[in-house]
Chain A
Amino acid sequence: MSRYSRHIVLSEVGPQGQALLSSAKVLVIGAGGLGCPVLQYLAAAGIGTLGIIDFDVVELSNLQRQILFGTSSIGMNKALAAKNRLEDLNPTIQMNAYPEKLTAKNVLTLFDRYDIIVDGSDNFATRYLVNDASIITDKPVVFGAIYKFEGQVSVFNYLNGPSYRCLFPTPPKEGSVANCSEVGVLGVLPGIIGSMQANEVIKMILGFEHVLTGKLLCYNSKTADITTIKVKKSEKEFEKVHALKDQLIDQYPESICEINVEDISAEDALNKENVQFIDVREQDEYPQIDIPPNLQIPLDILEQNLNRLPPEKEYIIFCQSGVRSKLAVQLLKELDIQHCYSLRGGALAIVEHLKIKT
């Protein structure tokens, strides 16, 4: 027990409190800016069962803030990379990595296996899915969200408290609120907000009185100002979710991974002649792929660059792992470019294939 001696000497924790932490089961949604510090502190604190779900891979531009990962993790799935690192930090706990997207199909079974859900996601669709599933499965959610230099923290659906929908009833219009990759974020900020989330998780498990429920904490890292805003429970918002329970799957679009477009393996793609490859990743994404003829047009400006793509040509679209390329193929087909395929597994699959060949 010397691993936890600094916890155990605290009269508010003691051996009983540490035993509560050891028997707790916490699921962390997203191993990104918020998820990384949450996972690090919860693993170190000896949370008995720690789940991590993330479908994304570690990129070079993540390392500025996602300090659970190192350069050697680049290209690895985040949930698996996090598990690897955390097993060294604390091999005595059970770590479950889910290298997949959280969807309406898997969310309820997954939530059922845990006591507390931590929301470290980076988009509204997932945040509302987490909210609705937490109400259906009756699990508390430790919420955190960031924007540039500011963060929000709260505990929802805890001891009859309000939910995320009691604060923000409906998701904002798609694209009206930018994410970190578009607007940037101060690297330390998710460290602060994620640590606050980890702190709330531990307080809940230990049964502390003043859990951050019924209020939203707003932190500004530029001014060091903290403002808390009271949020009331709205029964109406809970009823709405319960009423939609059976339609949960219809409420949320299928996972992007399940979009049905024509795809092609790395091997077949590289053997094809007279095709134009299009890399739809951002400029700084790693690994760089140099297979001619290769155009680099990030997904968000693809439509504006349509004039560079003669419609009679054949195109193979790739991104990092094969998600954005599916969206790109869908978009190009709508824009009347018929001969285009999504490269399965993206740049990572190309690198793998080239490795096997040499």
Chain B
Amino acid sequence: MNLNIKYFGLLAEISGCTEEKLEFNKTSVSELMETLFEKHPSLREKDFQIAQNHEITSKEMPVTENEIALLPPFSGG
């Protein structure tokens, strides 16, 4: 399926873009993460949550939506 991956904060600096298209043929969110880690290795060390179609999801879930977002925590204030 054709995914649109959105990167927030520091993650956009690592991937070099705020969003990118990705052709994904596997099933789970964790497999999607592996694909993204191969593409952008520094992502692996970062803390973030994953959202599918604007809702926080977990790694065990299947990828069912096209819209994926990677959200890191911000500490600044």
Contacts and interface: CB of A to CB of B under 8 A. Distances in A.
Interface of A: 30, 32-35, 119-124, 127, 144-148, 150-152, 167-168, 172-173, 176-180, 185, 190, 216, 218, 220, 223, 227-232
Contacts of B49: 167-168
Contact of A35 (B18, B46, B56, B77): B77
A interface secondary structure, majority: mixed
Given A33-B77, A120-B77, A148 B9 contact: yes
B47 A177 contact: yes
Contacts of B73: 124, 145, 167-168, 172, 177
B24 to A, nearest CB: 20
Contacts of A180: 76-77
Nearest to B73: A168
B14 to A, nearest CB: 12
A115 B56 CA distance: 29
Interface in B1-38: 6, 8-10, 18
B74 A190 contact: no
Contacts of B8: 150, 218, 220
B54 interface: yes
Contacts of B45: 176
Interface string B60-77: 000000000101111111
A146 B76 contact: yes
B77 A30 contact: yes
B69 A177 contact: no
